Every structure is written in C-alpha cells, then in structure tokens.
Amino acid sequence: MRRFVAGVWRGMRGSVQWRLLWWWNAKFMVGVSGVVRDPEGRVLLLRHRLWPEGRQWGLPTGYAKRSETFEDTVAREVREETGLEVKVGRLIRLQSGFRLRMEVAYEAEFVRGEIRIDPLEILEARWVSPHDLPDGVMPGHRVLIEGG
C-alpha cells in the first residue's frame, strides 16, 4: 500500500501536491516584532492602544502579509506605526507551539526619520535605554530587549 501511495504522489503535478499539502496541514498567522536600536543603543518602544491595560508597552509588532518576507514585515510595521525607516538585521527569535500563530523577532537599526505615531494603533513612542524600561513592557519583549 505504501508503494502505491508513493507512486500516486509522485505521479501528481506539483500544484496538486501543494494544494493537498496546504489543505492537510495547519495554517498559522505569523506575528513579527522588531528590536529597533538607535546609534546610542536605545530601543524603540511603543505604547500600543489595543494591548491589555498594564501591558501596553512593547516593540513594533504586526502580522506578516501573504507573500511578504518577515524582514519586510518588520520594516513595514515600524514605518506604519512610527514613520521611521529601519535596516532589518538578524533573526533573534522563532517561536512556535501556539495554537494559531508563531512569533518571529529581528534586530533592526534606525536609519532615518522623525517619530510620527499612528494614533489608531499607538498611544506613544519613545527611545529608551534597555536598562531603564518602563513598567508595563510585555514580558516576552523585555526578554528580547535585554537579551539582544
């Protein structure tokens, strides 16, 4: 039976195989964050409007769009939320095990721009020392900032 199934599989066109794999496997949203640092080593922190009270401070974050690289997601989210341009660096976290999402984080360095927040999503944005983080920083983001 295994040989028969393997033969049928090999006989399918690639697009049919991919459609079957897509249907059969789990689908995830990918949350992408950026640890953005300026030349002085400060980190860009945002107070997010839609996050839970008492845990509203965190990194620029958003979900990857279809066909978008995670690096492009970081740059887009920083630009949309703050108006700043960044150069995305190395991957610092890839975490799965959640029910419907996975999380990815990258280092990024500030390139240019003035902070102009998107008031629909962001209440406040500021550059802070990694050693002087405000209360209410999401615990997972605190780890990324202090460990990176």
Predicted pLDDT at 44:
98
For 86-106, the pLDDT digits (tens) are 999 999 999 887 778 899 999
Predicted pLDDT at 114:
96
Residue matched to tokens 């209440």: 123
For 18-59, the pLDDT digits (tens) are 788 778 877 778 999 999 999 999 999 999 999 888 889 999
Q: How many CA atoms lie within 13 A of 102 on its CB side?
A: 11
For 4-13, the pLDDT digits (tens) are 878 777 788 7
Q: Are strands 101-112 and 29-37 parallel, antiparallel or unpaired?
A: parallel
The reported pTM is: 0.84
